[in-house]
Amino acid sequence: MKQHTVIDSPYGPLTLVAEDGVLCGLYMTDQRHRPPEETFGDRDETPFGAIVDELEAYFAGDLKDFTVELRLNGTEFQRRVWDQLRRIPYGETRSYGELADALGNSGASRAVGLANGKNPIGIIVPCHRVVGANGSLTGYGGGLDRKQRLLDFESGTALF
C-alpha cells in the first residue's frame, strides 16, 4: 500500500512516497520522470517521521549521510547505478564516465545517465552529484538551477 505526503524544502515542495512504510519516492515539483499523482496513494504523514527528520537535518547542514530505509524500484542496472550514486561522498561529484567505470563498463556512460535521470528518490540518492566529464552541469530531473543550488549547498559555497 502506498502513501504520500508533501513537505516544504529550500527547493520547493517535495513529495515523499512510501510503499508499505518504506520510502520509494522523493519528487520535486515539475520534475522530469515524475509519476502521476494518482500513483502516490493516500495522503498520510504517518510513515514519514524519520525521513522528514533526516531531510530537515540535511537542509540545516547537520546531516551528510542518510540512513532511512529505501525501496528503489527499477531494473537491476538502474539499482546498480543508484547504489553507486549513494557512494558519492557529500560535497563531491563524479562524472557519468566515472560511474560507468565503477560499474565495470566504461562504455556505459549514456546508460548511466539514463538511469541517473530515472532516480526515484532525489536528494537522498544524490543524482545531483553527477556532472559531465569536464565538470559541467548536465541534465537534472529537478532542473539545472536546483542541481547547482544543491551542489553549492553541499560544497559550502551557499547556505539557506
DSSP H stretches of helix in 32-95: 49-59, 76-85
In whole angstroms, what is the distance from residue 77 CA to residue 33 CA? 17
Judge whether 106 and 100 are in contact, CB under 8 Å.
Answer: yes
Given 14, 85, 115, 127, the catalytic residue = 127
Q: Which residues pair with 10 in a beta bridge?
A: 12
The answer to whether residue 127 is catalytic is yes
Residues in contact with 15: Cβ distance below 8 Å, sequence separation at least 6, in sequence order: 4, 5, 6, 25, 26, 27, 28, 40
Judge whether 22 and 70 are in contact, CB under 8 Å.
Answer: yes
Q: Which residues are catalytic?
A: 127
